[in-house]
Chains A and B, each alone.
Chain A
Amino acid sequence: MSKDIRIKKGLNINLVGEAEKSVSKAVASNVYAINLLEFHGVTPKMLVKQGAEVKAGEPLFFNKDVENMQFVSPVSGELIEVERGARRRILSLKILADKNQESIEHTPISSGSSTEEIKALLLKSGCWPFVKQRPYDIIANPEVTPKAIFVSAYVTSPLAASLEFSLKGKDKEIQAALNALGKLTPGKVHVSVGKGSDSIFSKMEGVELHKVSGPHPAGLVGTQINKIDPINKGETVWTVAPQDLVIIGELLLTGKFNPERVIALVGSSVKAPKYYTTKIGAEVSTFLYASGVNSENFRVINGDVLTGGKSQPDGHLGFYNNTVSVIPEGDDYEFFGWNKPVFDKISSTRSLTFSWLQPNKKYDLDTNTNGEYRNFVLTGFYEEVFPMDIYPLQLLKACMVKDIDEMEQLGLYEVAPEDFALTEFICVSKQPHQQIIREGLDLLYKEIG
């Protein structure tokens, strides 16, 4: 059973620095870190103290609101630092890795395992945070039954890792994870692949397969949910990223939490962009300098250039990422940058900008905002890159004025900040769309829950 979804609205951002299809093993990192800010909305309660010895897969902390949801250490070693911010909020945990890696072992799941057994294993093994929910774009609440689960194996984000390449040979793990997810919902598990692609996901059983085509954001799971089975008020769906299915699947099959994954190191500042095998939490420099950088003035992004988090060479690979992007910092002035003809940057207009002449050209973009923050002025542009049946400008404004009724009515339940990455990219007023949506979702969560 497969259905075709064709997305027309959108924009493919073609950048220089795509990863070459070869994979190396990254040097083992000395220190691994868990960035707690990635787990949006989770109030952590520590289970171990600073200086404690932990094994790989051993719980470090749990979620205060859902106490059986545990977060585990990716490696065995010593918890050397608990970094705290304002009001003693825990920002990150650092683990100094041991030479000999030991893992906690759980009982693998058999085919006859019940829903509750699967849930319990995912929760205590540290794999549950891979399951995210909408509304609110947070880690799924295990007490709610989702109407469906969505996995997007169609990649359209700029420079993002190719799943065909990075997940090669992981069929067994992915199938096991999908089987288990199928037991967690009374509805379907929707998996989407690129039309005409030779994805390992098209061979998966027990799922509803969709073939998607079209420009970015066709590959975002939010776009696909909106086209396949949109979220209504009161409903919940879960989403899991394809690369995370591998870790879930391995846990179910072997009983071990294995944080190893193949990531793509990409971007125009990288000399030799390619794939690396590394672990969640590993220091970026362990693979960044193996590929080399072109200049000193660059930015490391944990994730793709549209949605990733700002990082450093001594930062650490995020929990959800399979891409690390490195692009030039744009902290320089440009003489008459606002009125001269532009050939080397992407534009959504044709106002002396000429990217429309070469839609397939690869651009070398930096982090400059290309203009200053302004009120919303232009209209009609966001709609061209926003394929959901939602009014993006009106929803953003509802979030800004904190009008909860309108936020609900205009469909805030259906979106995540990443869905507004493209509108943010083309925004003439340089408004922070993803932040506005994040704050809107947080407000809605606080008020309505």
Chain B
Amino acid sequence: MSLKNNLHQLKEKYRGKKMAPAFNALHTFLYSPNETTHSGSHIRAVDDLKRTMNTVIMALVPVLIFGIFNAGYQHYAAVDAANGVIRQASLFGNFLTWDNFLMGAWTVLPLVIVSYGVGLAIEFLFAVMKGHEVEEGYLVTGMLVPLIIPVDTPLWMLAVAVAFGVVIGKEVFGGTGMNILNPALTIRAFLFFAYPTWMSGDKVWVHQAVDLAGGPDAISGETVLGFLAQGRATEMSYSVADMFYGFIPGSIGETSTLLILLGGLFLIFSKIASWRIMVSAVAGSLVMGLIFNGAVSAGWITETSTFYGLMSFEYWKHLLVGGLAFGIVYMATDPVTGAQTNRGKWIYGFLIGLISVLIRVFNPAYPEGVFLAILLMNVFAPTIDHYVVKGNINRRLKRAKNAVVLPGEGEGKADKLKAETV
């Protein structure tokens, strides 16, 4: 009780001062505020933005934990591979081990801390400068960012990218709810274009692979997409189960399709994320995959083609590798940057799936298209909505045109009415 009262007094003390938003952010983290309604609806539903964001974070936690174990696992697997031993992944045998966890935590947690630290510091700074409350959007962004980057991304690089992404991607537009591009993907795109060598290749996906390169202990870890893009599919030792459970190299959080699927189902069940976007994006990627498979089986693409590896990759397997599933579940469903109308969401999601696979196949330099596809569709989402809403407007105009000024039986009455008035 006393903590509550003390905080209340501090809040009153800070009211109207510059530091108020910073204090309130911490205060409302502990206690939901004592604010009451003034007009309109006197009662309100329990959901607020903090609860919403918290739900998304809950859906991300299993993915993060798996990512930590996988970071360690991939490192030790690569060391084994360098010594000529091919590991067979087994969940309780060699995956959920202390070694994997410690190695993974040591590499992944600093990324999480830097992402949250830098991002929230900027959020607080802007809130104090502009005198608005600290918004919750970054709680999810800060969690997403470490999950979509390679494990050995230098911390300073991440800090620079986060600062860029939060300021240019979000704050200049007016903060959470006003941004055009998904902030997490803006950060990812910044990293990708500013430091391409750290974001692709066969060295960045496994811890220490870059440091050890060239030396006697050199290790490497090519992603599934990397193998396919280079036409080395036969060298790949990963089974479909490995891909589905996530025992493959890749960005920290993107590998386990199973956990992403569960997270997606949780978000759909809790109604926080749009099932329309998820379903249509899956459909879009399957359709594009089928088109490519069809082109291969029709004989238009031969084995000598650069694109053969990825085009002949069975259509449904696209969902198991790379960041496609993660992007569809956690990034495409961002309500602020996505389409806002229900019909628009179908189109938006479908095109994200379609374009993701399209970029993935036709960009051999960096065979991952989902983040570019989502950013592209972020830009087009308002256009999609515009045409959907236009349909409603046109329907209303047509209705007005067809409206009979006076109903049939009313006409006689109207004349009478007029006569009376005169």
Contacts and interface: CB of A to CB of B under 8 A. Distances in A.
Interface of A: 13, 15, 114-116, 145, 147, 158, 183, 186-188, 230, 232-235, 299, 301, 305-310, 325, 327, 329-339, 342, 345-353, 355, 365-381, 383, 389-391, 393-394, 409-411, 417, 421-422, 424-430, 432-435
A149 to B, nearest CB: 12
B42 A306 contact: yes
A375 B36 contact: no
A305 B49 CA distance: 23
B37 interface: yes
Nearest to A429: B49
A333 B47 contact: no
Closest 7 CB pairs of A and B: A371-B48, A337-B32, A375-B177, A232-B400, A338-B50, A186-B414, A333-B31
B387 interface: no
27 contacts: A186-B406, A299-B42, A310-B38, A325-B42, A331-B34, A333-B7, A335-B4, A336-B31, A339-B51, A339-B54, A346-B46, A349-B271, A351-B270, A351-B271, A352-B270, A365-B43, A366-B43, A367-B36, A368-B34, A370-B32, A377-B49, A377-B177, A379-B335, A380-B335, A410-B389, A427-B45, A429-B177
Contacts, number: 254
Interface string B187-221: 00000000000000000000000000000000000
A161 B41 CA distance: 17
Contact of B35 (A232, A327, A369, A411): A369
B340 A338 contact: no
Contacts of A348: 45, 47, 271
A338 B48 contact: yes
A305 B51 CA distance: 24
Contacts of B54: 338-339, 351-352
Interface stretch (B240-248, B280-288, B391-399): B391-399
**Interface size classification for chain B:** 35 or more
Interface string B2-28: 001001100000000000000000001
A377 B43 contact: no
A312 B44 CA distance: 20
Given A329-B36, A350-B269, A353-B47, 5 more contacts: A367-B43, A368-B37, A377-B137, A379-B341, A389-B395
Interface string B229-260: 00000000000000000000000000000000
B40 A424 contact: yes
A373 B136 CA distance: 11
B85 interface: no
Contacts of A307: 40-41
B360 interface: no
B30 interface: yes
Contacts of B4: 333, 335
A372 B31 contact: no
B35 A372 contact: yes
Residue among B46, B175, B385, B400 facing the most chain A CB atoms (10 A cut-off) = B46
A426 B45 CA distance: 5
Contacts of A309: 39
B42 A230 contact: no
B246 to A, nearest CB: 25
A378 B44 contact: no
B272 A351 contact: yes
Nearest to A184: B417
Nearest to B405: A147
Given A329-B36, A367-B37, A370-B44, A349 B270 contact: yes
Contacts of A410: 389, 392-393
Contacts of A391: 341, 389, 392
Residue among A374, A417, A421 facing the most chain B CB atoms (10 A cut-off) = A374
Contact of B274 (A187, A374, A380, A434): A380
Contacts of B133: 372-374
Nearest to A431: B40
A154 B47 CA distance: 29
Contacts of B271: 348-351, 381
Given A377-B177, A378-B335, A430 B44 contact: yes
Contacts of B47: 347-349, 351, 353, 370-371, 426, 428
A236 to B, nearest CB: 12
Interface in B263-304: 269-272, 274, 276
Residue among B39, B45, B52 facing the most chain A CB atoms (10 A cut-off) = B45
A445 B65 CA distance: 57
Contacts of A331: 34-36
Nearest to B137: A377
Contacts of A422: 41
B40 A435 contact: yes
B407 interface: yes
B6 to A, nearest CB: 11
Contacts of B342: 380, 383
A373 B269 CA distance: 25
A307 B48 CA distance: 21
A346 B399 contact: no
A233 B42 contact: no
Contacts of B178: 375
Contacts of A232: 396, 399-400, 403
Contacts of B399: 230, 232
